[in-house]
Structure 1
Amino acid sequence: MQNCRSGGFTLIELAVVLAILATVALLVFPRLPSTDATNLRGSARALAATIRYTGDKAITAKSAYRLRVNLTDNRLAVIKMVNGEESTDSDPFFSRQILADGINVEDMTIPRLGKITAGEVAVNFGPGGLEDFAVIHLKGSRDSHFTVTAYPQNGKVKVEEGYREAGP
């Protein structure tokens, strides 16, 4: 008589493997960043990079630029100023989308204007770089925030998690 045992897994072995995988998933998935948090962080970094780049470009080109922030419809655009008139710059860096979908500019603080929560705000860059201290608060869909703070003295732009009030 031949012992005929076919290869494969028993039901108990499969149940143990599934239990282990479920436990690992329960431990790992809550620690993964959500896409909203990733989009918010990426938007804050993209805004900071845009402010730095615009300041550097204004200094090297000895030109004036303006970052237009529309808090009502959540649009940001960099405009070149030529003889007091706005014109578009052909730099492809300025044509990219700065904020990801679902990320909003909650408010801005510029000392000469105070705290702005609606309408359009212009952040000016002259031949010396950024002209005004600015704090921009970005908000994600889950009430999470990032704060982008731009300093005119040294061109430094700081990105911080959370809603931070900062002074010049």
Structure 2
Amino acid sequence: MPTSRAGTSSNRLNSPAGFTLMELLVVIALLAVAAGIVLPRLTVSSSMELNRSARQLAAAIRYVQDRAITGKTPHRMRMEPGTGIIRITRLQDDGSEGEPGESFLERPLLAEGVTVTDVITPGRGKTETGEAVLRFDMAGLGDFTVIHLKGEDEDDAMTIMAYPSGKVTVSEGYQEEPL
């Protein structure tokens, strides 16, 4: 009668039938790391897109202002309230408007589903339809400007305030006056 030691079997030595606990733990750990990297990118909420778009627009305003001052070239930012359309142009020597010549300024500034609600300037008041134009001359932004953005959820809003001094602030909610 064949005998064996405790915990060993003559059949298991010749043909492994399964995984060791260590192999299983390594695979589970790798899957957890992959899920931790991929899942946050899949669950982007509309409020996160609105926040990102507002910060990207604020950065673009600062950048255009700097480009207008350092390059001594006036620029325009054309926005269509009620849509997500924002175009940046550069004033040519002949007075016409052309492409800004920089890829950062030529790409869409707002994420899909984010729209410009209105634009408020001292000269024109509140613009809710048509086109609002921010003018950047060789001294930077001409007027204090308030831009309101909204996301897909009607309750989500962001306010961008651009000052002629070059300061640009981003805040949550719909605000008409500086804090």
Structure 2-normalised TM-score?
0.72
The answer as to whether partners of 2:146 and 2:159 remain within 8 angstroms in 1 is yes
The answer as to whether partners of 2:119 and 2:146 remain within 8 angstroms in 1 is yes
Q: Could you say what secondary structure the match of 1:90 adopts?
A: coil
Determine if the alignment matches structure 1 residue 151 to structure 2 residue 154. no
Q: 1:106 aligns with which of 117, 139, 153?
A: 117
Q: CA deviation at 1:87?
A: 0.9
Determine if the alignment matches structure 1 residue 74 to structure 2 residue 117. no
Q: What's the RMSD between the two structures over aligned residues?
A: 1.6
Partner Cα distance (1:89, 1:114) in 2: 27
Determine if the alignment matches structure 1 residue 136 to structure 2 residue 147. yes
The answer for the alignment partner of 1:49 in structure 2 is 59
Paired amino acid for 2:65: G
Deviates more, 1:68-77 or 1:125-134: 68-77
Q: Percent identity?
A: 40
Paired amino acid for 1:90: G
Q: Greater strand share, 1 or 2?
A: 1
**Deviant stretches of 4+, over 2 Å:** none
| Corresponding pairs, count | 135
Q: Could you say what secondary structure the match of 2:153 adopts?
A: coil
Q: CA deviation at 1:34?
A: 5.6
Partner Cα distance (1:135, 1:94) in 2: 20
Partner Cα distance (1:48, 1:164) in 2: 16
Q: Could you say what secondary structure the match of 1:147 adopts?
A: strand
Partner Cα distance (2:118, 2:169) in 1: 16
Determine if the alignment matches structure 1 residue 36 to structure 2 residue 34. no
Larger C-alpha radius of gyration, 1 or 2? 2
The answer as to whether partners of 2:99 and 2:106 remain within 8 angstroms in 1 is no
Cα 1:61–1:78 shift into 2, 3 Å: same
Paired amino acid for 1:37: S
Gaps of 5+ in 1: 1-32
Gaps of 5+ in 2: 1-42
